[in-house]
Structure formats: structure tokens, C-alpha cells
Amino acid sequence: MATPARRIRRPRAHGSRGGRRPLAPGLVSNLLNPKIAVFHTGLLPAPAPPGLPPAWAMTLLVLLHTALTLAWLGGCVLLLSRAGLVLHQPRIRRALGRTTGVTLIGFGLVLATAGT
């Protein structure tokens, strides 16, 4: 006889307000991030298309980089939102906790036994 499936409750994010409120801090954080400015001014000119004026080439590459970033992060959000239902099961959480613990202990042992 089959046992009824338990309904898994979706965890609620702490401090989640919904809507677009997280957009403003995230946007400000990204706009003020010096690593992105260095990346766009230091690394993007190299693959710029030679036939376009530099301003247009850089604009094209920045937009391409933005589109790829949005696609990548959007995919991560979709994958993790679906995986969250599975990852919050007690059995899975225990297994992940044990695996993480063993991994961290292993890293610690490697560091402790490594020569200078």
C-alpha cells in the first residue's frame, strides 16, 4: 500500500518584501562596483569589432555582456527556485550538511598537513 505524499512547504525568504524593492539596492550596488568598471574599460576593448566606431563597439559589447549576465543569473534563479522544494526536505538537508561538513574537514586537513 502506497503512503500518501507529504506536501512540502516552500520556505519563505527572510526579509523578503516582494515587488521591486530589492531592485534599487541591487542596481546601486552594481553601478558602484569598481570591478565592473575595470572589466568594461580594461578587457572589453580587445574583442571589439574593428569596423565600428569605438563608442558603438563598446556599447554593443556592454549590452551583450549585460544580456549574457541576465540570462545566466535568470537561469540560476529558475533552477534554484525549483531545486528549493527538493533541497528543503529533511533527509536531503541532513545529507547536504554531512557532505559539506566532511568536505570542510577534508580541506582543513589538507591545509594543516600542507608544507610551507
pLDDT single digits (tens) 54-63: 888 888 888 8
Read off the pLDDT band of 75 (50, 70, 90): very high
Q: How far apart are the first and last CA of the chain?
A: 61
Cα 116 from chain centroid (whole Å): 34
Q: What is the pLDDT of residue 103?
A: 97
CA 57 to CA 40: how far, in whole Å? Answer: 12
Q: What is the pLDDT of residue 105?
A: 97
CA 23 to CA 74: how far, in whole Å? Answer: 14
Q: pTM for this structure? A: 0.50
DSSP symbol at 52: S
